[in-house]
A = this chain, B = another copy of it.
Amino acid sequence: MADDRPIGVFDSGVGGLTVLRALRELLPGESTVYLGDTARVPYGTRSAATVERYAINNARTLLQLADIKALVVACNTATAVALPALHASLPVPVLGVIEPGARAAMGASLGGTIVVLGTAGTVRSEAYPRALHALGHRGDVFARACPLLVPLVEEGWLTGDVPRLVVEQYLRGLPADADVVVMGCTHYPLLRPVLRAALPEPVALVDGAAATARELAALIAERGLARAAPVPTHRLLVTDAPEQLARLSGAFLAVAVEPGEVELVDVVMAV
């Protein structure tokens, strides 16, 4: 059994490229289509009903334009808010970033407090504490909003004093028994070296992107959805500003992309 259709990935912007990168590294034989809804970014400040509508638009766009065989929601806000609606309305398997990240955090914890770093929207949504407790985590969860990290990453300031001091400030005053820190935002893996250096050695640093890629790989193997055809293809779609995604792709995707390779599309609005 084989399925040569691509894997679809969407995010509100460019951050989901770190999830795409993890997917492409773990599943090098698979084709992918990424949709960055850059015209409507950020999702974190919008109402749940609006985010759900945007998520459905994005999913239908990937189905119509690229006939995807599975969907990864590479956006914490959309995962927190719209996953049930996507599961209910799509004809393909759907995976979010939060549950894999939470599961990986539990696997790494020795019973101490799990710390979640995220945007203000993700922290406010309480999606990680909810997911952790639903998975049976009995310890404490401590979530900290880190609003400076996304603009820091998008500026490309990934080394030197500024990111070091910003990260140290955000990690100040964590619970003494913290043994896991989850990067609960798709931008944060670019700051992994800075975060790692600022954390005491025994604290595990968990990447939701990598965990999501592993769970998708398992799902594809289980359901016999692996691609058999040679030479996979990769498409990048955005709803605005293709040049911005191209500019950031070197850092986020670890692949240099020309602006002409990024396709500008309209989302499918009809439900």
B151 touches A161 (CB 8 A): no
Output the nearest chain B residue to A154 by Cβ-Cβ distance: B147
Q: How far is the CA of A165 from the CA of B166 in the complex (A)?
A: 11
Within 8 A of B (CB), among A34-57: 41, 45
User: What is the oligomeric copy number?
Assistant: 2
A148 at the interface (CB under 8 A from B): yes
Would you call A89 an interface residue if the criterion is a C-beta within 8 Å of the partner chain's C-beta atoms?
A: no
* A169: contacting residue among B41, B150, B151, B157, CB under 8 A: B157
The one of B147, B154, B165 in contact with A162, judged by C-beta atoms closer than 8 angstroms, is: B165
Main secondary structure of the interface of A (DSSP, over half): helix
Contact of A161 among B152, B154, B157, B165 (CB under 8 A): B165
Q: Which B residues are in CB contact (< 8 Å) with A240?
A: 45
Chain A interface size range: 10 to 19
Taking CB as reference atom, which chain B residue is nearest A38? B45
Which residues of B lie under 8 Å from residue A157 when comparing CB positions? 148, 169
Bound state CA distance, A147 and B148, in angstroms?
A: 10
List of B residues within 8 angstroms of A162 by Cβ: 162, 165-166, 169
A201 at the interface (CB under 8 A from B): no
Residues in B neighbouring A148, C-beta threshold 8 A:
148, 151-152, 155, 157
- Contact yes or no, B147 A155, CB < 8 A: yes
Partner pick for A41 among B45, B147, B166, CB 8 A cutoff:
B45
| Residues of chain B within 8 A of A165, CB atoms compared | 161-162, 165
Select the residue from A41, A151, A157 with max chain B CB neighbours within 10 A. Answer: A151
What are the interface flags for A142-164 relative to B under an 8 Å C-beta threshold, 1 for contact and 0 otherwise?
00000110111011010001100
Nearest 9 interchain pairs by C-beta: A147-B151, A162-B165, A148-B151, A151-B151, A161-B165, A162-B166, A147-B155, A148-B155, A148-B152
